[in-house]
Structure 1
Amino acid sequence: MRGGARRFRVAVACMAALAPACVRAEEGFDTEHIFGFMIGTDIGNVGEREFQTQTTGSFGKGGGTYRALEHEVEIEVVPLPNFRVELGATASLHDITGVPDIDDRRQFNFQGASLDLRYRLLNREQAPFGLTVAAELHGNRIDETSGAKGRMYGTEFTLALDRELVPNFAIAALNLIYQPEWARFEMAGLSEKSSTIGAAFAGLVRVRPNVLLGGEMRYFRQYEGIGLGEFSGQALFVGPTAYVQLSERSRLTLSWSMQAWGRPAGSSAHLDLVNFERHQARLVFGVNF
């Protein structure tokens, strides 16, 4: 754990040193991409187009070896004021050995596709805070946790708020999340429905004109059924986030979270490694074109 945090700090320091000195800080913040596992309320300007890759890693379960990587390629466009559309395709890699209730698996597959729609209700420049609603719809042929084949459909609804605490220096954000999921597995022919609700908070400060550093704290509760039925477990994740403006058109975001506390239903454990992972990491690279 300490080694992972140390490597994260070293990577951020190296990127900050190598980032072009000519990159200027904007007046205020553009929060569209500065957070790791969260979203901001900004959605870009009309006609803007972006290409983005997002790699997410999940590591550690209740026993054995668990590693899962998702690599998503995305195209983002802003066709109308305050409205953004994103199309994505995802490939996944699973390396699972000796994990309770999950079959051993080592595989690389095309996972699925997604559609992300965002609409900004309040602009932070004209209102006390920014407010955006987002809905990400996805359909997968590979389960993101177990790697099992099947048909998986779900939606992530997010209500995002953010506010500049100190102009051009400190920004804070809040996300409220609801995720209904449905899955039918190919091998067993079983169907599962689940839902997750969560709240996430982030804060970032500008340490250089082109570098932001801060952290994110996310709390989740998982239930059986899409209507928040029987309680399954809960977890709290905390960790650092770094954003680097590499050039006028390109950017990089890094985020790492560890499960600081959790508890599966009916257990006195201090971590929920049944429904959630021990560590999560994310690397996002984007470029305007």
Structure 2
Amino acid sequence: MVGLASSVSASADEGARGLAYAAPWPGSAPGLGVNKLAGGLPSAHAEIDTEHIFGFSMGSDIGKPGEIEVEFENVGAFGKRSGTYAAWANLNQVKYTVSDNFRIAPGFALSGQRINGVPGLADHSDVSFGGAALELRYKLVDRAVAPFGLTLHAQPGWSRIDDATGLHIQQYGAEFAALFDRELVKDRLFAAFNVWYGTGGTREIATNLWRHDSEMQLQTAISYAVQPELVFGLGVRYARAYDGGALDRFLGDAVFAGPTFSYSISKEVGISGTWQMQVAGKAIGDNRSLNLEQFERHQALLRLNLHF
């Protein structure tokens, strides 16, 4: 889970944790009878799904009981100090909302890399099956009846490919998160704050050596509904990488920032994403600007959601 970017999971990408689609706007279907605000937007606060409107950051909503959602999440990481570097991590999930407060989502991952002339990394070009994960979410505070929402996230996973390098591995890990969000201006402006922690143990097949890594991220984002089905925003993430599974030895940090979007194509289909650039960072023992040892220059997300 620690590796590729820093924003999705022991799921698809070892380092990219964390990820955005706006659910169909309440009242968009005829006959619902939802009251409208002066701006023409519906006022059914509880019906607006915030989970995927913040890019890499996540909202607290988990869907309604009995809802089934299929999600295809793609995270890309691009750019090192020199050479050509591109890595792709894909997580495919089926999400089932068991109750008002609990959701389960099994999934499998694909992984791909194109690496050429990057110091410290072997040249590599391949796409392969990456591993599997199980996401569990529990809504602790419902934003529909409280000033803010809070959902707890846990995702154990297994990986056979290092998303950052393409090396064959056996990795067992998990990520944990607290997902806060709040509606700042009714039906218009939303904010999120996430705390993410990922840890994993990895055995390199070629050497049979084990290593342990961990990472912590603080993420925040703000999103504005330009139209009922179209949301734009800005996300910022601060990531810290560690040697050791319990945040033992600090290796370096990075700050990423960039625009986000979410668009409801129809009631059943939505897309969302973000492109973020490393704007600050430092690796231990390296006086150069930015941290391109543990992280990349650019990280991007594109997600497709299908509701049933």
Give yes or no for contact 1:83–1:117 (8 Å, CA) kept in 2: yes
Deviation for aligned residue 1:112: 0.5
Bigger strand fraction: 1
**Counterpart residue number, 1:186:** 205
Higher helix proportion (structure 1 or 2): 1
Ranges of 4+ aligned residues in structure 1 off by more than 3 Å: 22-26
Alignment match of 1:252 (pick from 260, 271, 290): 271
- 1:42 paired to 2:61: yes
**Is 1:121 the equivalent of 2:140?**
yes
Give me the whole-angstrom Cα distance separating, in 1, the residues matched to 2:133 and 2:100: 22
The one-character-per-residue Cα deviations of 1:185-229 (angstroms, maximum 9, x if unpaired) are: 111222111111110000000001110000110001111101111
Structure 1 partner of 2:300 = 281
Letter in 2 for 1:88: G
Q: Which residue number in structure 2 is paired with residue 266 of structure 1?
A: 285
CA contact under 8 A between 1:178 and 1:196: conserved in structure 2? yes
Task: Please tell me whether the aligned partners of residues 23 and 247 of structure 1 are also in contact (alpha carbons under 8 angstroms).
Answer: no
What 5-or-longer segments of structure 1 have no aligned partner? 1-18
Tell me, yes or no, if structure 1 residue 199 matches structure 2 residue 257. Answer: no
**1:93 matched to 2:112:** yes
Q: Which residue of 2 aligns with 1:150?
A: 169
Give the CA RMSD over aligned residues. 1.6
Normalising by structure 1, we get a TM-score of: 0.90
Partner of 1:60: 79
Q: Bigger relative contact order, structure 1 or 2, given CA contacts below 8 A and separation 6+? A: 2
Matched, 1:110 2:129: yes
Q: TM-score, normalised by structure 2?
A: 0.85
Following the alignment from structure 1 to structure 2, what is the Cα–Cα distance between the partners of residues 162 and 213? 16
Q: How many equivalent pairs are there?
A: 270
Q: CA deviation at 1:267?
A: 2.1
**Mapped pair 1:174 → 2:193:** yes
For the 8 Å contact 1:215–1:241, the answer to whether it is kept is yes
Aligned identity (percent) is 38
CA deviation after TM superposition for structure 1 residue 71, in Å: 2.1
CA distance in 1, matches of 2:49, 2:126: 38
Residue of structure 1 in register with 2:229 after alignment? 210
Deviation at 1:91, TM superposition (A): 1.0
Q: Which moved more, 1:137-146 or 1:31-40?
A: 31-40
